[in-house]
Amino acid sequence: MAKLIFYSTIGPDRDDDAWGAFSLARRAVQAGLEAEIVLAGPATGLLHRRVRERIEGKPRDNLQIVLDAKVPIWVAPG
């Protein structure tokens, strides 16, 4: 099975762009592919509770689908 790894360094200060890796991972999961997400540097801020709680619409839906599918999310420094 193919596996796609989505790597992002875009932090929560760029809301729409920051959730792009989650959108792509959702599409991969829905296509039956294995996916992983790697967040590095500023992108690690996406996992803060206050950031996750303020998102709405499609980004929130994408996050929930990724979490429900148990897509691994890795956090790397810098």
Q: Per residue of the chain (78 residues), what is the pLDDT tens digit?
A: 678 999 999 998 887 788 999 999 999 999 999 999 999 999 999 989 998 888 899 999 999 999 999 999 999 976
pLDDT of residue 78: 61
Kindly report the CATH number assigned to the domain that includes residue 45: 3.40.1260.10
The DSSP secondary structure of 17-67, one letter per residue, reads HHTHHHHHHHHHHHTT-EEEEEEEGGGGGGGSHHHHHH--HHHHHHHHHHH
* Signed CA dihedral, 22, 46, 74, 6: sign only: positive
Number of folded domains that form the chain:
1
For residue 23, the enclosing domain spans 3-76
Q: Which pTM value belongs to this model?
A: 0.89
